[in-house]
Amino acid sequence: MSQSAELPSQDELNYVTSCALPTPWAQFTLHAFVEKATGKEHLAMVLGEIGDGAPVLARVHSECLTGDVLFSQRCDCGAQLEGALKKIAEEGRGVLLYLRQEGRGIGLVNKIRAYRLQEAGADTVQANEQLGFKPDQRTYGLVKPMLEQFNVKSLRLMTNNPRKINAMTNLGVEVAERVPLLVNRNAFNQYYLDTKAAKLGHMMTPLMPAPVEDGAL
């Protein structure tokens, strides 16, 4: 996505269709969008009446195929995805946007390259930089037109990432409340989570300054 994608515009996105999506926790409605510039297919999972003006429990989730689908313990993405859907189901109302910006925007193959550099000693930020990328290449401009589709203007946003909250505010999407989403800290991802807290500003307490031991991954 270009910088101009930060500007809210329905012109960037086609709303296509929807279907029922039963999950272990609730039956959501799955909505499909196509980004005009890239052809990328973005998704929204909706539960309950979200267009009534009251702040909506929401997760803006960036694709992580390894964590969301392949059960990777290197990160917290899969557990955050499940945790967010469970919370929405418990309340009976909410939305999860699934944005196709894998690997903080560098793509799946490059993320695997970055993981290999991390096995050689780089942290998650250094690995991106060694590959010539910014630590986080993501943009959130599509969130605005996706939410407009459902008449949602205010979020109770499940995130630990202050830059995501700022991005929403800059788009004109109100974050009425931040809901922490601290799940699945484990031996394989504690250094990654601590690096996110120390270098990317994520709101979680760094506990382990030392890197993962050789051979742990």
Ligand X SMILES: Nc1nc2c(ncn2[C@@H]2O[C@H](COP(=O)(O)OP(=O)(O)OP(=O)(O)O)[C@@H](O)[C@H]2O)c(=O)[nH]1
87 binds, among Zn ion, ligand X, none (CB under 5 to 8 A by kind): none
Looking at 160, 167, 171, 173, which residue binds ligand X (CB under 6 A)? 160
**CB of residue 65 to ligand X, shortest distance in Å:** 7
- Our CB check for ligand X shows the closer of 13 and 181 to be 181
Binding positions for ligand X, 43-102, rule CB under 6 A: 62-64, 75, 77, 80, 101-102
SS3 string, the chain, reads CCHHHHCCCHHHEEEEEEEEEECCCCEEEEEEEEECCCCCEEEEEEECCCCCCCCEEEEEEECCHHHHHCCCCCCCHHHHHHHHHHHHHHHCCEEEEEECCHHHHCCHHHHHHHHHHHHCCCCHHHHHHHCCCCCCCCCCCCHHHHHHCCCCCEEEEECCCHHHHHHHHHHCCEEEEEECCCCCCCCCCHHHHHHHHHHCCCCCCCCCCCCCCCCCC
126 is in an annotated binding site: no
161 binds, among Zn ion, ligand X, none (CB under 5 to 8 A by kind): ligand X
Binding mask 44-83 for Zn ion (x = CB under 5 A): --------------------x--x-------x-x------
**Catalytic site positions:** 136, 138
How many residues bind Zn ion, per CB under 5 A? 4
- Our CB check for ligand X shows the closer of 48 and 103 to be 103
102 binds, among Zn ion, ligand X, none (CB under 5 to 8 A by kind): ligand X
- Our CB check for Zn ion shows the closer of 35 and 80 to be 80
Q: Show the CA angle centred on residue 48, arms to residues 43 and 50, nearest 5°.
A: 75
Binding residues: 59-64, 75, 77, 80, 102-104, 124, 159, 164
Task: Report the interface residues with ligand X, using CB under 6 A.
Answer: 62-64, 75, 77, 80, 101-104, 106, 111, 114, 124, 128, 159-161, 164, 181, 196, 202
